Amino acid sequence: MAYSWNWQVFLQPSATGEGTYLAWLFEGFKWTIALSLGAWLIALLIGSIVGVLRTVPNRWLNKLATGYVEVFRNIPLLVQLFIWYFVLPELLPVDWGNAFKQTDPLLQQFLSAMLCLGLFTSARVAEQVRAGINSLPPGQRAAGQAMGFTLPQLYRYVLLPMAYRIIVPPLTSEFLNIFKNSAVATTIGLVELSRQAQQLVDFTAQPYEAFIAVTLLYVIINVTVMSLMRRLEQRVRIPGYIGSK
């Protein structure tokens, strides 16, 4: 039987009576953006700290940071999401666990997915920060020490500004990945883009239109991110390193 295309489906009133199906998709689009940006902030902050600890001259801090990276990098993202959402509330003190369970279900899903995605990505960001610092010539570290910088000052004023400029291209890939990985949040019920598309299919039986629309929205997100990061890359590139001409 031939498939019956119906692009007007997006303008039809939704099954719940809350606007149209197009409004459903844009609601999912907003949750995807909020989830991905929140997770990226966590990943960049934690990943930077762990990446620095991987390079400081302290064996115990190195081991601690290495353990963090190995744990979060080697456990599948979906398993980590289920641990954050289903298991962690049971491990918290009773009052904390009950308070979390009594919050709005949508907020529970959002916070669990944001923390999971942020910490998972932070392990990958940490490795990029470590690689960026280690790629710098030894003379830069020696020059900073010769000027009397303390270790925190050496990282803040000498090593990290250079390392971040070098790792902009791999950070761009991670930034794109975090938007794509946000789709796993649909498994715990968060109404992000993929979830809204699935619900649209359930109510309208128009799968091709739903997933073509979602694909286009993901393409718009990725093209926007790539354009912004390319501009940043061109502004901060260092001659002789990745991305330079």
Q: Give the tokens for residue 130.
A: 């470590």
Using CA of residue 43, residue 45, residue 48, residue 49, what is the dihedral sign?
negative
Helix/strand/coil (H/E/C) assignment for every residue in 47-96 = HHHHHHHCCCCCHHHHHHHHHHHHHHHHCCHHHHHHHHHHHHHHHCCHHH
Q: Give the tokens for residue 231.
A: 């501009």
Identify the pLDDT of residue 86: 92
pLDDT at residue 238 is higher than 80: no
pTM of the model: 0.91
pLDDT single digits (tens) 27-74: 999 999 999 999 999 999 999 999 999 999 999 999 999 999 999 999
Identify the pLDDT of residue 167: 92
Identify the pLDDT of residue 240: 65
φ/ψ of 240, rounded to 5, equals 95, -5
Identify the pLDDT of residue 244: 53
Identify the pLDDT of residue 242: 54
pLDDT single digits (tens) 114-157: 999 999 999 999 999 999 999 998 888 888 888 889 999 999 99
DSSP code of residue 192: S
pLDDT at residue 212 is higher than 70: yes
What is the distance between the alpha carbons of residues 66 and 166, in angstroms, rounded to a whole number? 22
pLDDT single digits (tens) 10-27: 998 888 777 899 998 999
Average pLDDT, integer, range 223-236: 90
Following DSSP, what letter does each residue of 96-124 receive, concatenated? HHHHHHTS-HHHHHHHHHHHHHHHHHHHH
pLDDT single digits (tens) 88-123: 988 988 888 888 888 899 999 999 999 999 999 999
| Cα distances (Å, whole numbers) of residue 188 to 24, 111, 112, 120 | 18, 11, 9, 17
pLDDT single digits (tens) 195-208: 989 989 999 889 99
